[in-house]
Chains A and B, each alone.
Chain A
Amino acid sequence: MSTEAADTTGPATMCPGRTVGPSTVYRGRSGQWAFVLHRISGFLVFAFLLLHVVDVGLVKFPRAYNEVHALYGNIALRLFEVGLLAALLYHSLNGLRIVMIDFFPRAVRSQKQMFRIVLGLTALGTAIGGFVIVDPFLTGTLGL
């Protein structure tokens, strides 16, 4: 499925889309946003994973490893970790939603409610986890 506005070959009546100039914009509403967020969160987690393999690889060079990991304690990278947690939680929960729909086809009827639950739990988990991650910085107890 391409969300690019390049497909002008199909008959417009068959696409639940809006015509903007010569192209068509797909409007799938909640299911489409769930899909877009799934791709973005997955890509971000994958990009972080590649970086993370490199930084953990520094254990061979203890001094470099400790210097790089000391950076993770600063506030910018703590907020980055909160973002990582949000992406992980969303991708996990929406992944469950996808598995439900794939293996129990009737679950598609409640896909919208499941999407709202996914968003709600992601927000709740990120808020709780985010507090735990940022709190040591705010209270000055950096765990050292």
Chain B
Amino acid sequence: MATPLDLDRTTGTALPRRSHQNFETWSWLFMRASGLILIFLALLHFTVTHLVTDVARTNIDFVGRRWQNSLWRLFDWLLLTLALAHGLNGVRWSVDDYVRNPTLRTAVKGTLYTVTAALFLYGTLTIVTF
């Protein structure tokens, strides 16, 4: 993904390289930033719903009590959003690496984006309208 050196048109010598922040640069940075936040969000979520509370107790009443607090709703929605976006981008990188057939790659990515977008809307509706 390295861009060729910019050359001076008359002398042909290399110009100082400018940084090009394209979509993939931001995608790389997003994975680091969201990853760091997700370590906190995901591990705390797992601790609350699997370790502190036995999983057999996470019934409808448990969810009801927790979501009375808007901060937990915000926490869960942030976790949903960041985890889906982080996972989507990670799978996108893997699809680019391993699915070599262009038609198949487009189809796989299309399905991936559609399913993720649908589940993002469904999850958001679940949290907001409970």
18 contacts between A and B (CB under 8 A): A43-B90, A45-B83, A45-B87, A49-B87, A50-B116, A57-B122, A60-B130, A66-B59, A66-B60, A69-B59, A72-B56, A73-B56, A81-B55, A102-B32, A136-B54, A142-B56, A143-B54, A144-B56
Complex CA distance for A4 and B47, rounded to whole angstroms: 38
Q: How many A-B residue pairs have CB under 8 A?
A: 109
Q: Is B78 an interface residue (CB 8 A)?
A: no
Q: Which of B51-70 contact A (CB under 8 A)?
A: 51, 53-60, 63
Interface residues on B, range: 35 or more
Q: How far is the CB of B18 from chain A (nearest CB, A)?
A: 21
Q: From DSSP, what is the main secondary structure of chain B's interface residues? A: helix
Interface residues on A, range: 35 or more
Q: Is A12 an interface residue (CB 8 A)?
A: no
| B91 touching A43, Cβ below 8 Å | yes
Q: Is A83 an interface residue (CB 8 A)?
A: no
| A144 touching B57, Cβ below 8 Å | yes
Given A53-B119, A88-B42, A133-B55, CB of A99 within 8 Å of CB of B32? yes
Complex CA distance for A136 and B54, rounded to whole angstroms: 8
| A49 touching B84, Cβ below 8 Å | yes
Contacts of A102 in B (CB 8 A): 32
Q: Is B98 an interface residue (CB 8 A)?
A: yes
Binding site for A on B (CB under 8 A): 32, 35-36, 38-39, 42-43, 46, 50-51, 53-60, 63, 80, 83-84, 87-88, 90-91, 94, 97-98, 100, 115-116, 119, 122-123, 126, 129-130
Name the one of A2, A73, A92 contacting B43, with C-beta atoms under 8 angstroms. A92
